[in-house]
Amino acid sequence: MIELIPAIDLIDGKCVRLTKGDYATKKVYNEAPVAVAREFESYGFRRLHVVDLDGARSKHIVNHKVLERMAAAAPKLVIDFGGGIKSADDLRIAFDSGAAMVTVGSVAATHPDLFCEWLRQYGPQRLILGADVKNGLISINGWKEESTQELIPFLSRFMQEGVRHVLCTDISKDGMLQGPATPLYRKIMAEFPECDLIASGGVGSMQDIVDLDKAGIPAVVFGKAIYEGKISLEELAEWAGNKQ
């Protein structure tokens, strides 16, 4: 069964969402992300995806104190944290602040040897490779820059180094609520059947999650669909309970 992972994106310590990664589209949904995390935990979710958008823009971790409070308030949640992880200090601070897993994307694209060093140091169960895609190419630094690296060769290199967890966002789908890039995720799973792939971007209905589940995608991240009332926590919890 597909693993359901709600998301909290942080700017100025508040729960926000962007569209296609554009900071000009910022919409604040809740000024108390700790309470949001606690609510997710109360509905039986086991995972939480947290993105430090200030960190992604600043190129260093920013909202680690909020992470610390969320981890303390919702101890049953396995929190994966990303955004602004550019140095060994950023990575250490994220783990010390309560992240069970950390998502790293830009460093993998720009300093692959450093990412592999972190992978050896922390192990493949604690690091998630972030693969954010636009026009078939990996995007970096808060999606503001495109690299020249194509998705499948990028993934292949790091899968060979021992990566198992991959978070892939199709930026063109992000925040649009018009459905995820299921064909892209099928392609990744066909190439790397051992990959613990987390699909991200575009989920706008319960049917989208059902379709990803039927496609055999291991996990999905979603946020805006909840905050906009397109999917309720009740129906997610009920569906997950019925599937188990």
Q: Give backbone dihedrals phi and psi of 124, rounded to 5 degrees, phi first.
A: -70, -15
CB-CB contact of 43 with 236 (8 Å) = yes
- Indicate which residue of 52, 54, 90, 132 is catalytic: 132
Reference 148, options 187, 114, 109; nearest CA is: 109
Task: Tell me if residue 12 is catalytic.
Answer: no
d(CA 124, CA 116): 10
Beta strand 165-170 with 145-150: parallel, antiparallel or unpaired? unpaired
The helix or strand, by DSSP H or E, that contains position 89, with its residue range, turns out to be helix 88-96
Task: Tell me if residue 132 is catalytic.
Answer: yes
Q: Which amino acid is at 32?
A: A
- Indicate which residue of 9, 52, 54, 174 is catalytic: 9
Strand segments, DSSP code E, in the chain are: 3-11, 14-19, 22-30, 47-52, 78-82, 101-104, 127-134, 137-140, 145-150, 165-170, 196-200, 219-222
The helix or strand, by DSSP H or E, that contains position 29, with its residue range, turns out to be strand 22-30
Reference 63, options 34, 26, 40; nearest CA is: 34
Kindly state the tokens that stand for 222.
């979603």
Angle, helices 112-122 vs 151-160, to 10°: value is: 40
d(CA 37, CA 109): 30
Residues assigned a catalytic role: 9, 132
